[in-house]
Amino acid sequence: MKPEWFYPSAGSHSEQWRRVVGLEDRYEVSDLGRVRSIRTRQLRKLMRIGRRNLVALSNGRTAKVRRVDALVRDAFGTNPG
């Protein structure tokens, strides 16, 4: 079983999804910090290093590790905290 911080639950909040900036044709990020593939709708596994959640995203040729808080900020125009 994954820790609670790994995939937060929506609770009474309606989760909103937006395209990941720079990878709009491949991934979406939610306002809860979850990342999923557009094609398969599967959630990407998050890595936790220190206090940061990270996710590996591929453009089809190369993969890069990105900070989830930066993906949320870029997609929603807000600072998640």
Q: What is the mean pLDDT of the chain?
A: 86
Residue 64, CA atoms < 13 Å, CB-side half-sphere: 7
Query: Does pTM top 0.95 for this prediction?
Result: no
Among left, alpha and beta (phi > 0; psi -120 to 50; other), residue 77 is left
Confidence of residue 3 (pLDDT cuts 50, 70, 90): very low
Tokens 């600072």 sit at which residue?
Answer: 79
Q: Which residues pair with 27 in a beta bridge?
A: 37
68 within 8 A of 29, measured Cβ to Cβ: yes
CB neighbours of residue 29 within 10 Å: 28
Segment 16-46, tens digit of pLDDT: 999 999 999 999 999 999 999 999 999 999 9
Q: Work out the pLDDT band at 14, boundaries 50, 70, 90.
A: confident
